[in-house]
A and B are shown apart, each in its own frame.
Chain A
Amino acid sequence: MADPVNGNARRAKSVDIYAPQWRNFLFVAPYLTIFATLLVFPLFWGIWLSFHKADTFSSGRFIGFDNYVRLFRDGIFLQSIWNTFYFVFLTVPALALIGLFLALCLNRRTRSAAVLRTLFFSSSVLSVTIVTLVWRIVFIPDIGLLSMVFGVFGAKAPAFLSDPDLAMIGIAIATVWWCIGLPMMLFLSALQQIPQDIYEAAALDNANRWQTLWSITLPSIKRTFVLVIIIQIVLQFQLFGQSWLMTRGGPNNVTKPIVLYIYDTAFRRWDLGLGAAASEILFLLILIAAMAQYFVTRRKADA
């Protein structure tokens, strides 16, 4: 378009501050290097490995989908997938609901609430070793805390570590105790972002406690609820340490999750190709959950 006031020349001279410049690349180069060598390269190497018969001494020969076929004929692998889903089913709803409940209780400006918030969050900073140690002391038969408490009432404590029906539940209890801090904090920050004036409007609208909770508070944190569920699904799919340290995957593989199967296969039986294939299956499962998170968080507030 012709500019009558000699504007074309002026426009050519003006600086476009958003124009791409190569030197900007330097600022991302350090992270990009780490990202490429420690994440992108291993990812593709793992996929490549899963199509080969490999051990630690040779990268082996190409066998196509054989590793995947072997996986789905392996009863223990299928069991470990079932175990993992069962564990996610046990922990994720509990983490979301208990986290929400704690956040609702502790969303106030009193000193005791601040102390309790810190206390509930503090378990998150412990390492899995400490957490499992604590819960082994609780669960251990005859001399554990649970046994003592049940003993006072003359009852026998449930064998959370050795009963095949209870072992995964025991691990889930320890995990919820360990991980409850993050969901609680996410819910707390969501609750604090609800504007105070809509609570005032609700008070003038005759809403009682329950009506306010159901009609104002919960709809306002709906997106955070979905976010917490997805984050926890991704995290809990990666169960490993608790199972390994509390039950070694037993009794009879009922607490063996996918990651533990991968560890056993790749680093104890040295079948790297099969382990890599199992890793890709886990990767796919987590990817689905992560994609769900992406689409949920990308969708702007539907308010």
Chain B
Amino acid sequence: MTASIDIKNVTKQFGSLTVLDELSLSIPANEFVVFLGPSGCGKSTLLRMIAGLESVDSGEILINGERIDNQPPGQRGVAMVFQSYALYPHMTVRDNMAFGLKNISVERSVIEARIAEAARMLEIGHLLDRKPGQLSGGQRQRVAIGRAVVKEPKAFLFDEPLSNLDAALRTRTRIELAQLHQRLKSTMIFVTHDQIEAMTLADRIVVMNNRKIEQIGAPMEIYNRPATRFVAGFVGAPAMNFLPVKVSSNSGYVTAESGAGLRIATAISAEGLASGEFELGLRSEHVRITQPSGDAAEGVVDVLERLGERTLVYVRLGDGQQIVGSDSGDSRVRVGDRVGLTFEGNKAHLFDASGRAWHGQEAGHG
């Protein structure tokens, strides 16, 4: 079973504090959507409003076109996996999974069959008669997912379900969740503050910040064409480099000049660009480390981060500005060295004072 979800002009307030402001979003059936944002941006609140655990102050939530924000949680046909798993501690794994089905008087044989199928799929068959206290974190996680799967819901809601797992298990579970989505072909909404989870799992990412949606798009679209300076800075590790620049037009395209005299020619059309303060954004993979050239594009290495397949080089420029560039994995650069920088200006983004972004033609194509 699967369903589309529509959120229309939803507002949520806790006392005088507005958490979500006139928010609208359409999720087609079968889509894996990730709500991504920093703590306190309202992403979990939005998920809990879809689940029915938080009331909606104004606006509507519809599942398959049917308004559900006035229905109790159980009747909305959604299943949720909690960050803390929220398994019933006194029930066996089997009873945990059966509870929701017993409550709506599903036939015993049907319950048994669904539990057996979910247990096979999640490889928890040998745990069915244990209690949650006897399981490891990863096993509890699977049971929590199993409890959602047996309900055959119209949509799955995941509230930061991987954040209590260790790094290795998190990666594995991430892949299994992607496989689960392919197999079940169900609508899934996943809340996280981890951009790698968002990038790897999502069909579409909804980036949220400060009560509203910053951008909705496919992972690579978010990465390559961030709609705002917030999205540009939040998505991607290490964070995008930002340089305050003055802009000028050079045969129709913007050339940016920083305070230290760096000149970077971009692929951004100069047409329609407002005047005022601008920031240039460039990801570390578009800043290459070279031999010192003697011009403005050089600096001293502050910090090195060797990631294996590449090396992140934190370079302090002449005017004190720090820029993160990348070099090959076996880079010979050492801290304190003087290095040159080559900018791939055609991959650069420009942000005005309000945070709005301009991109070159190239930026959309990796």
Binding site for B on A (CB under 8 A): 195, 197-198, 200-208, 211, 215-216, 219-220, 222, 301, 303
Contact = CB atoms under 8 A, between A and B. Distances in A.
B88 A201 contact: yes
B132 interface: yes
A107 to B, nearest CB: 19
Interface stretch (B77-85, B185-193, B326-334): B77-85
Contact of A200 (B86, B91, B131): B86
Interface stretch (B97-105, B298-306, B353-361): B97-105
Interface in B101-147: 103-104, 131-133, 147
Contact of A208 (B84, B103, B133, B151): B103
Contact of B86 (A195, A207, A301, A303): A195
A108 B343 CA distance: 61
Nearest to A219: B90
Given A197-B82, A301-B133, A303-B131, A206 B88 contact: no
Contact of B82 (A201, A211, A219): A201
A203 B133 contact: no
Interface in B32-53: 51-53
B294 interface: no
B73 interface: yes
B80 to A, nearest CB: 5
30 contacts: A195-B84, A197-B86, A198-B86, A198-B88, A198-B89, A200-B80, A200-B86, A201-B88, A201-B147, A202-B99, A203-B53, A203-B72, A203-B74, A204-B51, A204-B73, A204-B79, A205-B103, A205-B147, A205-B151, A206-B103, A207-B74, A207-B99, A207-B103, A208-B103, A215-B99, A222-B90, A301-B89, A301-B133, A303-B89, A303-B90
B291 interface: no
B251 interface: no
A211 B99 CA distance: 10
Given A197-B86, A215-B99, A204 B78 contact: yes
A197 B44 CA distance: 14
Given A205-B103, A222-B90, 8 more contacts: A195-B86, A200-B51, A200-B82, A201-B147, A204-B74, A215-B99, A216-B88, A301-B89
A200 B99 contact: no
B16 interface: no
Interface in B167-208: none
B86 A206 contact: no
Nearest to A204: B73
Contacts of A202: 88, 99
A204 B104 contact: no
Given A301-B133, A303-B132, A204 B52 contact: yes
B53 A206 contact: no
A216 B79 CA distance: 18
B275 interface: no
Nearest to A215: B99
Nearest to B80: A204
Contacts of B132: 303
Task: Name the residue in A197, A200, A202, A204 with the highest tally of chain B Cβ atoms < 10 Å from its Cβ.
Answer: A204
Identify the 6 closest CB pairs spanning chains A and B, nearest first.
Answer: A206-B74, A205-B100, A303-B89, A197-B86, A219-B90, A201-B86
Contacts of B147: 201, 205
A216 B74 CA distance: 16
B257 to A, nearest CB: 54
A207 B52 CA distance: 14
A303 B79 CA distance: 24
Interface string B56-94: 000000000000000011110011101010111111000
Given A195-B84, A303-B131, A203 B90 contact: no
Contacts of A220: 89-90
Interface of B: 51-53, 72-75, 78-80, 82, 84, 86-91, 99-100, 103-104, 131-133, 147, 151
Contacts of B99: 202, 205, 207, 215
A109 to B, nearest CB: 15
Contacts of A198: 86-89
A217 B310 CA distance: 54
Contacts of B79: 204
Contacts of A207: 74, 99-100, 103
Contacts of A197: 82, 84, 86
Nearest to B103: A206
Contacts of B87: 198, 201
Contacts of A208: 103
Contacts of B104: 206
Contacts of B73: 200, 203-204
A303 to B, nearest CB: 4
A215 B92 CA distance: 12
Given A201-B80, A205-B99, A303 B133 contact: yes
B74 to A, nearest CB: 3
Contacts of A301: 89, 133
A22 B88 CA distance: 48
Nearest to B90: A219
B88 to A, nearest CB: 6
A211 B103 contact: yes
Contacts of A200: 51, 53, 73, 80, 82, 86
Contacts of A206: 74-75, 100, 103-104
Contacts of B82: 197, 200-201
B191 to A, nearest CB: 14
B33 to A, nearest CB: 19
A219 B90 CA distance: 7
